[in-house]
Amino acid sequence: MKLFANISFGKFKGKKLLLPDLSTTRSTKSIVRECVFNSLQNELKNSTFIECFGGSALMAASALSAYAKKAYVIELDKKAYDIAYKNAKSLDDEAIKVLQGDCFLLLPSLLEEKDIILYLDPPFDIRENFKDIYEKIYKFLEKIDTKNVKGFVLEHYSKHESPQRLKDFSRKKFKSFGKTSLSFYFKHTSF
């Protein structure tokens, strides 16, 4: 059985996107997606949205629908990448690019873009081989050049406590939706 999600706002409103099999990745729930884009609506316009651990490209497509200037998706899993690529092509918009590979290796090459918002949605740390994923993300963000990054959103397992501060970012908002939570980080001088 094929799974789908709809973009619920913006220029691609009503567009149906294919979702990967649940054994491959989990899709961001609509209530979580709505919270992300309601919270980012003022920051998103003319920004570059980069979705790490991209799954189906649903968040990047939604960002583009909400008038982000560009959107990138990075996905390691080949099956999920294939679906993300098909979804991006179905938008018929050259402003969205899908890359297959490890986010930790590919993201630094995209950081020359201006006004970046990162969306980090790793597999929950309760999944096999992802026990230390959040710590790996925090260490990675500490060492990369974030001068062009306005902020980032971390979607995480609710039992995980995200830090208040990370590098030159502060957690400005936290929302919980059952097992899923969102932590919104922006530079100390913005948002």
pLDDT given at position 89: 96
Using the Cα atoms of residue 120, residue 133, residue 4 and residue 89 in order, give the sign of their dihedral: positive
Average pLDDT over residues 141-157: 95
Residue 132 CA, chain-centre distance (Å), reads 19
pLDDT given at position 126: 45
Q: Is the pLDDT of residue 3 over 90?
A: no
Rounded CA-CA distance 141/85 in Å is 26
3-state SS, residue 5: strand
Average pLDDT over residues 18-24: 74
Q: Is the pLDDT of residue 130 over 70?
A: no
The CATH code belonging to domain 33-187 is: 3.40.50.150
Instruction: Find the range with the poorest average confidence among 29-38, 81-90, 93-102, 171-180.
Output: 29-38
Q: Is the pLDDT of residue 7 over 90?
A: yes
Cβ within 8 Å of residue 97, ≥6 positions away? 70, 71, 72, 73, 88
Cβ within 8 Å of residue 31, ≥6 positions away? 177
pTM for this prediction: 0.91
pLDDT band at 160 (very low <50, low <70, confident <90, very high): confident
Rounded CA-CA distance 171/151 in Å is 10
Tell me which residue has tokens 């902020």. 151
pLDDT band at 131 (very low <50, low <70, confident <90, very high): low
- 12 versus 29: the higher-pLDDT residue is 12
Can you give the residue ranges of every domain in the chain? Answer: 33-187
Instruction: Find the range with the poorest average confidence among 43-52, 120-129, 145-154.
Output: 120-129
Compute how many other C-beta atoms are within 10 angstroms of the C-beta atom of residue 133: 20
Q: Is the pLDDT of residue 153 over 90?
A: yes
pLDDT band at 49 (very low <50, low <70, confident <90, very high): very high
* Helices and strands of the chain, counted as H and E runs: 5, 10
Using the Cα atoms of residue 149, residue 77, residue 90 and residue 34 in order, give the sign of their dihedral: negative
Name the token pair of 135.
């710590």
Rounded CA-CA distance 163/160 in Å is 10
